[in-house]
Structure formats: C-alpha cells, structure tokens
Amino acid sequence: MTKAFAVFRRELGSYFLSPTAYVLMSIFLFLAAFLFMAIISRVQEPNFQYILGNLIIVSILLTPVITMRLFAEEKQSGTLELLLTSPLREWEIVLGKYLAACSFFAIMAALTLLYPFIIMKFGKLDWGTLMAQYLGFLLAVFAFLAVGTFASYVGGSPVISAFLGFGMLLFLWILEWISGAVPPKVGSALSSLSLFQHYQGFSKGVIDTFDLAFYLSFTFFWLFITHQLLESRKWKQ
C-alpha cells in the first residue's frame, strides 16, 4: 500500500498544479451555489435532493475531465513504460491514480457541506436523509471515476479519453429510459445496469444494500478491467 500511496500522492499533487483543476472546481462550486440559491428562493421546505440530483448530472460532464490525464497523458509522454518497469505493481498504479481522482472530487464535494448548515436556518433538515443522499452521490460519482479511469487508459489522448468517458457515462445513465423502448426482458436487464436507477433510492434518503452492492461491484469491475489491460501491456513489453 505504501507504493500505491506514493502514486496517489503524486497524482493528487499534479491536480493542483494544473489550471484545469481550478476551472473544474470553479464550475462545480458555482453551479452548487446557483442550485442552492434556487432552492432557497423557490422551495418552502428546502431539500438537498434537488441540489445533489442536479450536481450528479453535472458530474457526468466533469468526471471524464478529471480522469482524462490519468493514463492517456502517461502513454503520450512515454512515462507509462517507466512506471511499468518500476517496482510498482499494476494494481498499485491503478488504485493510486483512481484514489487521487476520488480524493480530488471529494474535496470539491466537501465544500458543499456548508449549505446544509445554512438550510437549517430556513427550516428543518433530516441529517439521516442527507447523509444517505451524500453517500449515494459519492458512490455514483466514484463509479463515474472508475469508468473515466478505464476510458483514460483506452483513449489515445486526454481529449479522446474525456469524450469516450462522457459517452460511456451518458449511455450508462440513460439505460433506464432506453429500457422502456425494448422488449420487457431486455428492458429489465438494461434497467438493472442503469446508474440512474440505482441512485434513485439514495436520492430519497433510502440506503438499499442492493444499490450499495451494485455501485461497489460496478466500480470494482472497471478498475479490474483497467488493471488487466495494464498488466497485458506490461507482458507485451
């Protein structure tokens, strides 16, 4: 884990050396503030479900940009080969990079925790419901970042990786709507894979172990595939 932490520390530090990170932070926090003001001014009983429900859509756009450099830039510059010939194991590389992306997003999300305290001045706030909503939000976004990590590896460049990641996430999010246009059995299978479908319970403050297991399994799947591709690349060298 020490080596994975070294990768994590390097990647997380690189985010804050890039102007892109500050642009992403500004966009995310501006939209969070805008949504917060909208809910305060228009809704009699403030509910954080509205804010997080919209921020998760924004995250589908932002997370591929957060992850686009993880592997694509290393491949372009040739430093990925150096990583593969170092004492680092493949899973340490993948895990370190992925956790850095998760930590960067978690820092952004943590800055929105100010709003629940402000909402308390305008009305009642159910902290149990709020924590469930935040848990679902972070689980969904961490799943997005796992897909983005995979896209960064298979993409030929950071820009291509960002577009690929966005396309994959958009498709996985709207599977719930696509499922209504196909035969019932196929639709049921598609719906069960929809990231949107498994977020609904969390958004209402309900923690379902099936939805929890889905997001954890989904995240593991894409990280495992990325690990396997990286391992395959090492053996081909």
Least Cα distance to 116 among 125, 105, 104 occurs for: 125
CB atoms under 10 Å from CB of 4, counted, come to 19
In contact, 101 and 66? CB cutoff 8 Å = yes
Work out the angle at residue 96's Cα, subtended by the Cα atoms of residues 218 and 225, and round it to the nearest 5 degrees.
35
For residues 20-32, average pLDDT: 91
| Mean residue pLDDT across the chain | 86
Give the pLDDT band (50/70/90) at residue 232.
confident
**Listed ranges 27-36, 83-92, 133-142; the one with the highest mean pLDDT:** 133-142
Q: What is the pLDDT of residues 62-76, one digit of tens each?
A: 999 999 999 988 888
Residue whose entry in the numeric block shows the structure tokens 């919209």: 54
For residues 76-96, average pLDDT: 83
Q: What is the pLDDT of residues 184-217, one digit of tens each?
A: 777 777 778 888 888 988 988 889 999 999 999 9
In contact, 118 and 32? CB cutoff 8 Å = no
Minimum mean pLDDT among 16-20, 76-80, 100-104, 206-210: which range? 76-80
d(CA 137, CA 53) in angstroms, rounded, equals 8
d(CA 216, CA 201) in angstroms, rounded, equals 15
The predicted pLDDT at position 181 comes to 65
Least Cα distance to 75 among 226, 218, 225 occurs for: 226
Q: What is the pLDDT of residues 40-62, one digit of tens each?
A: 776 556 667 788 888 999 999 99
The predicted pLDDT at position 188 comes to 78
Minimum mean pLDDT among 82-96, 115-129, 204-218: which range? 115-129
DSSP states of 121-148 = TTS---HHHHHHHHHHHHHHHHHHHHHH
Residue 16 scores a pLDDT above 70: yes
Q: What is the CA radius of gyration of the chain?
A: 19
CA of 64: how far to CAs of 77, 106, 147, 173, 174, in Å? 20, 15, 8, 14, 17
Domain-by-domain residue ranges, the chain? Answer: 2-236
Q: What is the pLDDT of residues 164-189, one digit of tens each?
A: 999 999 988 888 777 666 777 777 77
Minimum mean pLDDT among 42-51, 75-84, 90-99, 150-159: which range? 42-51
CA of 78: how far to CAs of 41, 82, 116, 183, in Å? 52, 7, 45, 47
Residue 93 scores a pLDDT above 80: yes
